[in-house]
Structure 1
Amino acid sequence: MVINAYVRENAGDAALLSVCLRHVREAFPDGEILIAGMEDAAVHPTFEGARNIGSIRRYVADGTVSLPRRLLRKAVVGAASGLATLLPRPLARVVLRALPAEARREADAVMSADLVVSNGGGYVLARPGLDGHQNVYFVLLPAMLAQKANVPVVWAPESFGPFPSGLQRKLVGKVLRRSAAVLARENVSVTELRSCGIPDQRIERAVDSGFAFAPEKRTDWRARLGVGPADRLVGITARRWLAPAAQERYERELARTIDAVQATGARAVLIPQVSTDYLGDDDRIVERRIRDYCTSGPLMIDEVVDYRDLKGIYDECSLLIGTRFHSVIFSLTSYVPCVAIEYEHKTGGIMADLRLGDWVVPIAEVTHDKLWALVEPLLKDPAPYRAILDANLPGYIARAESLPARLREAV
């Protein structure tokens, strides 16, 4: 049972799910795999051959229903499911049978599985207040139900934290201490887990599964973009993250850098790593504004692109200025130098792992001058950067392929 999957229009999360499914199949070739995630099973009944059953999280957060109904769903389903984790197992199953169908499917599936794997990513975190509490609760809930039935739970390589509340840290610590394996994908997450009372021997340092994502090339991106084989492409990914005034500054500074890139004769291309309506998280909206701020007419991919095809555009780039961190990972695995714009600690942590910490700029501190100080030398001579990749990347990718053995040990 793979839980906490997201949506395929987020190319990074789709890649993590793709790799997770491949690793589960390698570990258990004869196993049946089910997915519980944020995609509606009626719209997307499968993902790469595994059946999607929906999830409690998707049901209570369904944006197609009114806010009062969502709040009611969270209250009723959250309370009933939480009660089930406290009752003796026979009574717990009676309570769970009263859940709505989609929520009941996930509860039944995790409690009857041989293994539950929480998909890799960066969603085990919280903000202050009620919203942060409910996010942590619903992320952990499937694992809590599985543990109620003595089903082993593995947390595939994740970023953990921040957890601003003591109550949040207490719940995270309780669930993760009872898990079969907890894999943290950077050192700052290890520190966050320690703050939750998880001993070092229960925490395993791992590598983001995106480094193991290597689909076959299916699209001739240069023909699709109308550029020649000798043209240098510089990719840019951007996202909505900051308060309005700061967001506009970030976008305008990126536009200035794009103009400077194109003044060198290279072609800049804006790439939407995420193009979903869910939570309004569509990079194309941001990137259209950035394009309009430019004076030089950059290229832009303005359609929804399959996550496997999207990996191919990064292969064609000579350089990436990447905000979405999985766009950075997709590029690094093609030995493309990257300047990473950090919005969560996963960026700085993983870049530091690869000895690339000097090429990270916090999103709130983005200026053209800071970006250009890093970008211009890479356009002139990428060899020193690539030498760092040659020294560090092969072993890093090999570690990303270690999950199947860990899954077998968990069972």
Structure 2
Amino acid sequence: MAGAKGLWISILALFFPRIFVASKSSTARSLLIGILNFLRSLGLIFSAVLFRYTGFKGILLFSNKEQWEALVSSDLILMKGGSYIFSYGRWKDNLFIYRMLLTPLLGVLLRKKVVFLSHSIGPINGKIERFLTKYVLGRTRAIILRENLSYEYVKHDLKLNGPLIDVLPDLAFYTESQGIKTYKIYKKQPLVGFTIRHWDFPQKKDPYSYFEKYISGITEIIDYIRKDFNAKILLIPHCMDDIVVMQQIYAKFKNPENIFIIQEDYSLVELRTLLGSLSILIGTRIHSNILAISEATPVIPVVYEVHKGYGIMQMAGIEKESIFEISNLDVATLKRRIKYLLQDTSNFHERKCLYAKVTSLREDIPKKIEGYLKGVLCNQRLEMGKND
């Protein structure tokens, strides 16, 4: 079965994959998969402790032998960027943070050098969740965060001082640029992009009403741009769930003229080119904003995770007042920001500033990563962290 094959691949790819790995699975089957994955993870932890104190390299509970051998024989475990370590105290969050910390926990138990590269961290609620996070992170060699809010949280809330803690721009800023040096100004018809997503508003008592307000606000903004600026609207999904939300919005228009949902599966280069062709982007997906900024396209961010959203966008030079929260979408202020950015002179100035900022961010990334990894592998004392 394709579903079973896909499930098996996901188990091979991660030590503790997502519990709900397939939308077509029944709840009972998904729960069974989750229990099986959890038991496997306990077997891995026991195997790591056994190896630490006896040198026995065996692995328990039918986990992936190749992954285990790679972990045991490694010199460095690099936790790739793009992840967000957090918990609001819900059971789903607890499972998520356990899943995110399992591999570095195994590395710590195996006495390996562990580095977190380009992550966001916090908030973390709950005594057990905070203990596990501090235990794992405090025993790594370096924690490289992708924005300043996470840095402040790790240093002053979690109070971690053992590993190097530093800030590096999100690695998406370093993706291949298409070289947008001529700042395009629309002449006849603006082309405005949107990235939209489902969000469950984990800190709100009535998440459904907040989601409806978000959808209504975006719908009103689309109608405003289309009518007042004679603009074409592109709804640009980043996953299949996004398309479902976009179709809900599209269905609200009796006459959806000049509104288009992108259905193609674009490569990274194609997506960057598309985002670079826009007059502006109103983006809820953080990496759509990063890619658009990297192509010098003016962006209006709608953030759903505060540390990640505000932190990364402010690092890219976008002022806090120009960033909007998904739980409190101020439509009137958003309209004023759109009107400002769709003026020729404002659009040109914004593109010029974005291009200069991204060029500066890109230059920092390779030098710093090389320094981090050389220092860790050569057991050098790492002193490149931010000064408090």
Settle same-fold status: TM greater than 0.5: yes
- Aligned equivalents of 1:267, 1:61: Cα separation in 2: 37
Aligned AA for 2:218? L
**1:237 aligns to what?**
195
The alpha carbon displacement at 1:268 in A equals: 1.1
Higher RCO (CA-CA < 8 Å; seq separation 6+): 1
% same residue: 22
CA distance in 1, matches of 2:89, 2:243: 29
Matched residue, 1:22: none
Paired residue type of 1:269: L
Q: 2:328 aligns with which of 365, 368, 371?
A: 365
The structure-2 alpha-carbon separation of the partners of 1:215 and 1:398, relative to structure 1 and needing over 3 Å to count, comes to: closer
Farther-moved stretch of structure 1 (53-62 vs 114-123): 53-62
TM-score for the superposition, normalised by structure 1: 0.76
- Judge conservation of contact 2:138–2:163 (CA < 8 Å) in 1: no
User: Does residue 155 in structure 1 map to residue 129 in structure 2?
Assistant: no
2:245 maps to amino acid: V
CA distance in 2, matches of 1:105, 1:142: 14
Find the partner of 1:257 among 193, 218, 221: 221
Larger radius of gyration: 2
Q: Which moved more, 1:303-312 or 1:366-375?
A: 303-312
The structure 2 residue matched to 1:352, chosen from 289, 295, 314, is 314
Q: What is residue 233 of structure 2 aligned with on the other side?
A: 268
Q: Report the equivalent of 1:210.
A: 172
Identify which range, 144-153 or 261-270, moves more after superposition.
144-153
Per-residue Cα deviation, 1:285-341 (whole angstroms, up to 9, x for no partner): 011111222344312102433344222210111100000011100100011111000
Matches within 5 A, 1:139-154: 139-154=100-115
- 2:196, 2:283 within 8 Å by CA — same for their partners in 1? yes
Residue 410 of structure 1: CA displacement?
Answer: 2.1
CA distance in structure 1 between the partners assigned to 2:295 and 2:18 by the alignment? 38
| Deviation, structure 1 residue 113 | 1.6
What amino acid maps onto 1:348 in structure 2? Y
What's the offset of the Cα at 1:151?
Answer: 2.4
Q: From the superposition, tell whether residues 124 and 93 of structure 1 become closer, same or farther in structure 2 (CA, over 3 Å).
A: farther
SS in 1 for 2:83: strand
Instruction: Report if aligned partners of 2:52, 2:111 keep a CA contact under 8 Å in 1.
Output: no
Partners of 1:139 and 1:151 in 2: CA distance: 17
Q: Report if the CA contact (8 A) 1:259-1:296 is conserved.
A: no
Equivalent residue number for residue 110 of structure 1: 71
Three-state SS of the structure 2 residue aligned to 1:193 is: helix
The secondary structure found in structure 2 opposite 1:69 is helix
1:283 and 2:242 matched: yes
TM-score, normalising length: structure 2: 0.81
Partner Cα distance (2:162, 2:139) in 1: 14
**2:138 equivalent in structure 1:** 177
Per-residue deviation, 1:150: 2.9
In the alignment, residue 398 of structure 1 is paired with which amino acid? Answer: E
Whether the 8 Å CA contact 1:111–1:148 is kept in 2: the answer is no
Residue 406 of structure 1: aligned partner = 372
CA distance in 1, matches of 2:20, 2:70: 20
Tell me the number of residue pairs that the alignment of Structure 1 and Structure 2 aligns.
348
Check 1:62–1:237 CA distance in 2 against 1; reply closer, same or farther (3 A cut). closer
Q: CA deviation at 1:234?
A: 0.8
The CA distance in 1 between the partners of 2:92 and 2:261, in whole Å, is: 35
Two-structure CA RMSD over aligned residues (Å): 2.8
Gaps of 5+ in 1: 1-38, 45-51, 218-227, 276-281
Instruction: Give the C-alpha shift of residue 230 in structure 1.
Output: 5.9
Which residue in the other structure is 1:397 paired with? 362
Give, in angstroms, the shift of residue 390 of structure 1. 4.5
Kept in 2, the 8 Å contact 1:107–1:142? The answer is no
* 8 Å CA contact 1:236, 1:322 repeated in 2: yes
Q: Structure 1 CA distance, aligned partners of 2:198 and 2:242?
A: 7
Q: Distance in 2 between matches of 1:43 and 1:140?
A: 20
